[in-house]
Amino acid sequence: MIILSIETSCDETAVSIIKLSREKKVTFEVLSNKVLSQIDIHEKYGGVFPAMAKREHEKAITLLITEALSEANLLTEKTKTFHLENGVRKKLEKLLEKEKQLIEPLKTLFEGINKPKVDLIAVTEGPGLEPSLWVGINTAKALRLVWGIPIYAINHMEGHVVSSIISKNKDSKFELEEIKLPAITLLISGGHTELVLVEKLGKYKIIGNTRDDAVGEAFDKVARMLGLRYPGGPEISKLAEIARSENIIIPDELELPRPMINSKDLDFSFSGLKTAVLTRIKNLENLTEKKKKILALSFEESVTEVLVSKTKSAIEKHNAKSLIVGGGVSANKYIRENLKRLSKEENFDIFLPEKNMSTDNALMIAIVSAIKVRNNIPPSKSLKATGDQRIDRI
């Protein structure tokens, strides 16, 4: 079974194609995995600019699908001139009423190539930026309209969960790792900070959430205050690492709070921490390079301590056997190291994503749909973008 997946929830346009093996387990080959990042475009705004993100997805998606099909050896060009039937063309134009930029490239695709041997489409339905999500969803719907391929609507966060639990087997195929259950998932990205209880794959319960900013969002905003580039996570992390290697001690006046660390629940809050950084900066005479380094260190320490402490409570409370970490922030070296240490101390298994699987990609979306296939879940009929608070991320 061949699955083509589409991910456009934020600032990465991504398409992947996998070949799912016939066996019962989720075992697959990756035929293509394309990610086009818009980071350069959003950098000057210091965050994701939704209208711009939508436009860039519209520009890129058809091209990425074509490239992915070609790489997967599924693309054959039509030998005779072909025009879409009037009725189909009208339906296509109606479908893409709000994504007009998609009409011409998709028409050209449908008129230029034969229906590829794709059995399923998987597309991210949310959470994410609504206008961006619609580009992916309506592209998928267009493929369904013209080629008659069924669609699975996929949750983006579920994608991050599975990204951390794939490994290569001896035949160079990918498969899902065996996980001892129940597991706790810590999802840390630009839009989310969640603790999720996993009773079985596909069955999730959110047991902790951020009450305001997501942790990645806090990284990005603090980075902006420090005059660092977007996305801020890697920049802060680099500075903090330098500070650590120089054995810099954080002076009292640049220490930061550990928000909600002693609250009885598993919730988070990062907005106050961000404000605390701003207050520290305002109280400084000069934001020197050294002070920037200290603040980056202080911020990373605070965030890490909160994340580790809440994760520990979640593991203890639910007697979890494994921890799955997902989302863009899980690329953070210091957070990874500290979660690994916790797993040793508390004796649970830990699953962290490979670097290229921690940020947004379409492969993870295909894998979630493969699990649905294995669980005999029928394809989705109605599809709707489910947005989130990242709309006001800048």
Binding window for ligand KG4 (CB under 6 A); candidates: 14-22, 164-172, 269-277, 322-330: 322-330
Q: Is 136 in the site for ligand KG4 (CB under 6 A)?
A: no
The amino acid sitting at 250 is I
C-alpha–C-alpha distance, residues 333 and 236, integer Å: 11
Q: Shortest gap between Cβ of 20 and ligand KG4 (angstroms)?
A: 24
Give the 3-state DSSP-derived string for 331-391, with helices as H, strands as E and coil as C.
HCHHHHHHHHHHHHHHCCEEECCCHHHHCCCCHHHHHHHHHHHHCCCCCCCCCCCCECHHH
- Indicate which single residue of 130, 220, 267, 301 sits in contact with ligand KG4 (rule: CB under 6 A): 220
C-alpha–C-alpha distance, residues 69 and 145, integer Å: 18
Written as six digits, the tokens of 196 are: 């999720």
Do 191 and 216 touch, CB atoms closer than 8 A?
yes
Q: Shortest gap between Cβ of 238 and ligand KG4 (angstroms)?
A: 8
- Indicate which single residue of 130, 235, 301, 360 sits in contact with Zn ion (rule: CB under 5 A): 360
C-alpha–C-alpha distance, residues 222 and 32, integer Å: 36
Q: How many residues bind Zn ion (CB under 5 A)?
A: 2
- Indicate which single residue of 327, 353, 368, 385 sits in contact with ligand KG4 (rule: CB under 6 A): 327
Written as six digits, the tokens of 361 are: 């990609």
Range 167-206, binding ligand KG4 (CB under 6 A): 189-191
* Cα angle: 255, vertex 278, 387; to 5 degrees: 110
Nearest CA among 27, 361, 324 for reference residue 173: 27
Binding window for Zn ion (CB under 5 A); candidates: 75-83, 288-296, 355-363, 368-376: 355-363
Q: Which of the choices ligand KG4, Zn ion, none does residue 6 contact, using the CB cut-off of 5 to 8 A by kind?
A: none
The rounded radius of gyration (Å) of the Cα atoms in the chain is 22
Report the residue number, 301 or 360, with the smaller CB distance to Zn ion. 360
Q: Which of the choices Zn ion, ligand KG4, none does residue 325 contact, using the CB cut-off of 5 to 8 A by kind?
A: none
Q: Is 353 in the site for ligand KG4 (CB under 6 A)?
A: no
Longest dimension (CA), the chain: 75
Report the residue number, 45 or 82, with the smaller CB distance to ligand KG4. 45
Range 188-217, binding Zn ion (CB under 5 A): 189
Binding window for ligand KG4 (CB under 6 A); candidates: 32-40, 50-58, 143-151, 228-236: 228-236
Q: Shortest gap between Cβ of 373 and ligand KG4 (angstroms)?
A: 24
Q: Shortest gap between Cβ of 28 and ligand KG4 (angstroms)?
A: 22
Q: Shortest gap between Cβ of 32 and ligand KG4 (angstroms)?
A: 20
- Indicate which single residue of 122, 207, 325, 329 sits in contact with ligand KG4 (rule: CB under 6 A): 329
Q: Shortest gap between Cβ of 328 and ligand KG4 (angstroms)?
A: 2
Q: Is 237 in the site for ligand KG4 (CB under 6 A)?
A: yes
Written as six digits, the tokens of 279 are: 């207050």
C-alpha–C-alpha distance, residues 101 and 42, integer Å: 20
C-alpha–C-alpha distance, residues 42 and 51, integer Å: 11
Name 123's bridge partners: 6, 153
Give the 3-state DSSP-derived string for 243-303, with helices as H, strands as E and coil as C.
HHHCCCCCCHHHCCCCCCCCCCCCCECCHHHHHHHHHHHHHCCCCCHHHHHHHHHHHHHHH
x/- map, 4-33, ligand KG4, by CB under 6 A? ------x-----------------------
Binding window for ligand KG4 (CB under 6 A); candidates: 105-113, 215-223, 285-293, 317-325: 215-223
* Helix, strand, coil fractions of the chain, as percent rounded to 5: 45, 20, 35
Catalog residues that contact ligand KG4 under the rule CB under 6 A: 10, 189-191, 216, 219-220, 231-234, 237, 327-329, 331-332, 359-360
